[in-house]
A and B are shown apart, each in its own frame.
Chain A
Amino acid sequence: MNQFEQYRRRFIGGALAATGAVMAPGVMLMQVAHSRAPEEGVSSKHRWGLLIDSSKCATGCNDCVTACNTENGLSGETGLQDPQWIRKIELTNNNTGATHSLPMMCQHCEHPPCVDVCPTGASFKRADGIVLVDRHICIGCRYCMMACPYKARSLVHEDLNDTQLAHMPRGKGCVESCTLCMHKVDRGDGTTACAEACPEKAIVFGDLNDPSCEIAQRLATYASKEVRADLGLNTGVRYTGI
């Protein structure tokens, strides 16, 4: 083997090694990322929802609200213009004086009025029942806020000053609301921040369509209620104890 041939072989070998070195991390990362193919998007086989037992929910306890704010990067301030994705409502019966406490958030309706009125389709419902705002095409008209019977939506009134979290992009001038912790649902956590944080386990997350799921079994066993059931929206969030 002459000198030239040696050099040529070394060159080819080096080139192959370099190519391998460049490619390998990409191949490895693809395995690690294990991303879902587009055709494996969310499916209408699931209908994610919450069951909230108001009789277990304690007046004055705000753990679900705090957990939601931490999980999604909200400031937790409660001024007139501050967004609130979940809030505790204290109820007093006008006739009997009986009191209840419960968390209120986007009810993830099957027929959401916010989606009906949105002029751009930014307000939309995923196949698995989660109602969301597409921050790329929301024009900030606030018609969805006018239409929501649950006052579940907020406009971001001012700059967020880098308080956003990577998994929950937000934006000044856009409307936002509870996402049912879709980032947790999508990665298979099987729960939401509010449900995890509740010390009384008053909030149960699950698949309303799956009869083996705790939420579906409870709904089949006990009397539950939709808020403003008269509107016929078939909410994904249900309550017991009121």
Chain B
Amino acid sequence: MHIVNRELEGNSKGYWALLGGLGALILLGLFAAYNMEHHGHVITGMNNQIVWGLPHVFAVFLIVAASGALNVASVAGVFGKKAYKPLAPLSALLAIALLIGGLAVLMLDLGRADRAIITAWEVNPKSVFSWNVVLYSGFLGFSAAYLWAMLDKTVKPLYPFAAYGAFIWRLILTTGTGLIFGFLVARQAYGTGLLALMFIIYSLLYGTAVYVLVLMTAYLGGQRPLGAEVMRRLKNMLLIFIAASFYATLVYHLTNLYYAKEWEFERFILLDGGLYTTLFWVGQVIIGYAIPFVLMALPGTRDNRNMVALAAILIVLGALAQMYVTIIGGQAFPLQLFPGFTEKSSFFDGQIHQYIPSHWEWMLGIGGFAISLAMVAFAVKILRILPESLADEVADPHAKK
């Protein structure tokens, strides 16, 4: 059967309620940004010890998920798997939307958000942040071109160029995101190129999980058929990505455990770091990896799409826990200026740093999420992103017709 893409009607009460709710969250986010700009970061929980806080947890999650959300499209466009072709436009759209949401949070959190544009002409070629200005714009450009080539058959020659370009670019982009931390030489948690690879692997998991949730919501809300075959393929992808993410996490911590100089840091994260230890084991490992893996692998639950949706929600929660542990846990552990000595000072040297996020930071972070989702909700109503049907007989190239 031929696949026909059509705009979502989007006239139901549910649709307008969704758009209205997201709009309200965006307004709250902007209100928080205004207050942070007006009063300064004094109204946040961030301080001179924990310099990147909850907004960065949301922003980095969204940016990492953005590159991963493109994965479904790459499987179709680069690896030539036909079954994923009808799923590809939403994949590219989601990549663009998540990146813009994440960048909005990052920019609005700046001490001088009004000066963000300076990064466009004052460029420091040694700074990963400077590279990222190019990487983010390039990713938006490639993804937009890719989406265009998929939706408009008159620009077909653009398709392979955009598909390969976006795929290679997303790998470079997430390398850049991982290296923001990987290039920090002095902190126990960072300073390893492994972070670039970890972020690429995490991105596949997080982006695909968000993709699954958005796809299911759209087809449920739009009352369009979504076949078991599509769900099975996406579920299998998630299973592989969970295993890979767990492996990456394992290698990172095992490497650290091999070095005596990292023992105290590992002890902090894995054993006695309070909130950070809980978030690592309960959040990242159990909620983010173990439960979703079991839900999607056990015969009793794996064919139940509600369980797959639950697994995807748990993966996103685990992802936020991982970002919290990586970004804030990494800063909470004090810098070691004098290894072998116990340090004490008025600037909190030698002690675990305190951080309690304020409601402004929650509002800003959730506002970024809302920007991404509102963009998707709006775009599927005005563009032919979603196939009318993803029922098995339509979407599955091997289905018995």
A173 cross-chain contacts in B, Cβ below 8 A: 37, 40-41, 110-112
Contact of A159 among B40, B48, B116, B187 (CB under 8 A): B40
B111 A141 Cβ-Cβ under 8 A = yes
A81 B112 Cβ-Cβ under 8 A = no
B110 A113 Cβ-Cβ under 8 A = no
| Beta-carbon contacts under 8 Å, A72-112 to B | 78-84, 87-95, 100, 104
Bound: A87/B346 CA distance, A: 7
B127 cross-chain contacts in A, Cβ below 8 A: 116-119, 143
CB B204 to nearest CB in A, in angstroms, measures: 26
Contact of A158 among B37, B40, B115 (CB under 8 A): B40
Contact of B48 among A83, A89, A100, A172 (CB under 8 A): A83
B5 cross-chain contacts in A, Cβ below 8 A: none
In the complex where A91-B341, A147-B186, A228-B186 touch, is A139 in contact with B119 (Cβ < 8 A)?
Answer: yes
Contact of B349 among A87, A113, A115 (CB under 8 A): A87
| Chain B residue at smallest Cβ distance from A102 | B338
Q: Does A211 contact B (CB under 8 A)?
A: no
B112 A139 Cβ-Cβ under 8 A = yes
Bound: A143/B344 CA distance, A: 24
| Chain A residue at smallest Cβ distance from B132 | A119
A90 B122 Cβ-Cβ under 8 A = no
Q: Does A155 contact B (CB under 8 A)?
A: yes
B342 cross-chain contacts in A, Cβ below 8 A: 91-92, 94
Chain B positions 335 through 355: 1 when the CB is less than 8 Å from some CB of chain A, otherwise 0: 101101111111111000010
B48 A145 Cβ-Cβ under 8 A = yes
In the complex where A93-B341, A95-B340, A142-B52 touch, is A149 in contact with B39 (Cβ < 8 A)?
Answer: no
In the complex where A113-B185, A173-B110 touch, is A119 in contact with B119 (Cβ < 8 A)?
Answer: yes
B51 A155 Cβ-Cβ under 8 A = yes
CB A132 to nearest CB in B, in angstroms, measures: 15
A140 cross-chain contacts in B, Cβ below 8 A: 110-113, 115
| Chain B residue at smallest Cβ distance from A227 | B337
B186 A141 Cβ-Cβ under 8 A = no
A146 B184 Cβ-Cβ under 8 A = yes
Q: Does A7 contact B (CB under 8 A)?
A: no
Chain B positions 36 through 50: 1 when the CB is less than 8 Å from some CB of chain A, otherwise 0: 010111100011110
CB A157 to nearest CB in B, in angstroms, measures: 4
Q: Does A178 contact B (CB under 8 A)?
A: no
Chain B positions 110 through 133: 1 when the CB is less than 8 Å from some CB of chain A, otherwise 0: 111101101100111011111011
B118 A120 Cβ-Cβ under 8 A = yes
Q: Does B183 contact A (CB under 8 A)?
A: yes
A149 B47 Cβ-Cβ under 8 A = no
B354 cross-chain contacts in A, Cβ below 8 A: 80
Q: Does A148 contact B (CB under 8 A)?
A: yes
B346 A84 Cβ-Cβ under 8 A = yes
CB A50 to nearest CB in B, in angstroms, measures: 16
Bound: A227/B267 CA distance, A: 25
B122 A88 Cβ-Cβ under 8 A = no
Q: Does A67 contact B (CB under 8 A)?
A: no
A94 B341 Cβ-Cβ under 8 A = yes
Q: Does A150 contact B (CB under 8 A)?
A: yes
CB B89 to nearest CB in A, in angstroms, measures: 33
Q: Does A137 contact B (CB under 8 A)?
A: yes
Q: Does A209 contact B (CB under 8 A)?
A: no
Contact of A146 among B116, B133, B331, B347 (CB under 8 A): B331
A83 cross-chain contacts in B, Cβ below 8 A: 48
Q: What are 20 A-B pairs at a CB distance below 8 A? A: A78-B347, A80-B47, A81-B46, A89-B345, A89-B349, A94-B340, A115-B126, A117-B129, A117-B184, A119-B119, A119-B123, A119-B132, A142-B111, A146-B184, A146-B187, A149-B335, A149-B337, A153-B48, A173-B37, A173-B41
